Amino acid sequence: MSKAKISVSNLKLWYGNNEALHGIDVEFQAKKVTALIGPSGCGKSTLLRCLNRMNDRIVGCRVDGNVLLDGNDIYAPDVDVVELRTNVGMVFQKPNPFPKSIYENIVYAPQIHGMVDKTGMDELVETSLRKASIWDEVKDKLHEPGTALSGGQQQRLCIARTIAVKPDVILMDEPCSALDPIATAKIEELIDELKSEYTIIMVTHNMQQAARVSDHTAFFYMGDLIEFGNTSDIFTKPQQQQTEDYITGRFG
């Protein structure tokens, strides 16, 4: 395997007194798509949210262990979460564009981070939207509200918005679960294009989706990482009984 972009070692997480992750060790490869699968409540979304410290805001949430991004511990005391999140972007389950224009949705983050001056804005908007394969659909209505788009378009707008910050890693938390099959197909196609430039880690409930788009797959169960490996291996010859039971639909 090539060099790890993110490596997680012995990661434990508590919500209050409830231990939700019991010592996870996993490495995510650069410029690959890794799918996190498992039944509801298994900890896959929790792990995902650890990777850009979105869990910080949850009251009573405590983390122990190491998460290294390019060899640097993201939980070290001098780490600025804001900087971290510009490197590790996130796309959420439900499309959540800001109730502003499409243009403003894209330029918001680059503006607050001072990444681009006024003259570069238009160009940034176009490249971001193009990369998210939505430019042709919205180029004539850039100043209309993002919330007026269809669900699939909104999700691609959210991806474009994330790309505009130029992150290395994009986390996707069930990005297609609120979308219809056609919109889902478009997002999957997009993910396939994006992996040439970005490290993508996605949570999904849909095993066909994991099989279709990911290079690696991690199976979680009850807060433990049960199995991790190449997607083709996991789906054809799983090493663990639990993994096999899950992917063959015996539970979950």
Partner 1 sequence: MMTTADVFTWFISAIASLSIIAFVYARFTAIKIEQQEGRLHSRPNFFGWYAVSRLCVPTLGLAFLYSIFHMAGLINSNLLLFCVSFGAGFIYLFLGLKHLHKDFRARQAVEKVSRRLFFLAALISIFTTLGIVFSVLFEAFRFFTIVPLWDFLTGTSWNPDTAFLIGAGRDEGGAVPEFGSLPIFAGTFMITIIAMLVAVPVGLFAAIYMSEYASHRVRNMLKPTLEILAGIPTVVYGFFAAITISPLVVHAAEAFGLQADFTNALAPGLIMGIMIIPFISSLSDDVIRAVPQPLRDGSLALGTTHAETIKNVVLPAAFPGIVAAFLLAVSRAIGETMIVVMAAGLRPNLTANPLEGVTTVTVKIVEALTGDQEFDSAFTLAAFALGLVLLIITLVLNIGSTIVVRKFTQRYE
Partner 2 sequence: MSSPSNLKRRYRADKRFKLYGIAAIAFSLCFLTFFFVDIIGKAIPAFEQAYIQVPVTYNEALKSNYNKAIPKAYRRLVSKAFLRTLPQKLEAHPELLGTTQPEWALANHRVDQFLKQHEGHGLKKKYRSKVEQLYQEDKIEFRFNANFFSRGDSKMAENAGVLAAVMGSVLVLLITILVAVPIGVMTAIYLEEFAPDNKFTQAIEVNINNLAAIPSILYGLLGLAIFINVMGVPRSSALAGGLTLALMTLPVIIISTRAALRSVPQSIRDAAYGLGASNLQVVMHHVLPLAFPGILTGSIIGLAQAMGETAPLLIVGMMAYIPEAPSSILNAATVLPAQVYTWSSESMRAFEERTAAGILVLLVVLLSLNALAVYLRKRFEVRW
Q: Given the rule CB under 8 A, which residues bind partner 1?
A: 80, 82, 112-114
Minimum distance, C-beta of residue 120 to partner 2, in the bound complex (Å):
18
Instruction: Decide whether 111 or 230 has the Cβ nearer to partner 1.
Output: 111
97 binds, among partner 2, partner 1, none (CB under 5 to 8 A by kind): partner 2
Instruction: Decide whether 124 or 158 has the Cβ nearer to partner 2.
Output: 158
Q: Which stretch binds partner 2 (CB under 8 A): 38-46, 108-116, 180-188, 190-198?
A: 108-116
Instruction: Decide whether 82 or 182 has the Cβ nearer to partner 1.
Output: 82
Residue 99 touching partner 2 (CB under 8 A): yes
114 binds, among partner 2, partner 1, none (CB under 5 to 8 A by kind): partner 1
Q: Name 172's Cβ contacts closer than 8 Å, sequence gap at least 6.
A: 90, 91, 191, 200, 201, 202, 203
Minimum distance, C-beta of residue 237 to partner 2, in the bound complex (Å):
36
Report the residue from 108, 126, 137, 244 that binds partner 2 according to the rule CB under 8 A: 108
Beta bridge partners of 14: 19, 62
Q: Name 170's Cβ contacts closer than 8 Å, sequence gap at least 6.
A: 88, 89, 90, 91, 159, 162, 163, 194, 198, 199, 200, 201
Report the residue from 7, 96, 133, 206 that binds partner 2 according to the rule CB under 8 A: 96
Binding site for partner 2 (CB under 8 A): 52, 54, 57, 59-60, 82-86, 89-92, 94, 96-99, 108-109, 112-113, 158, 161-162, 165
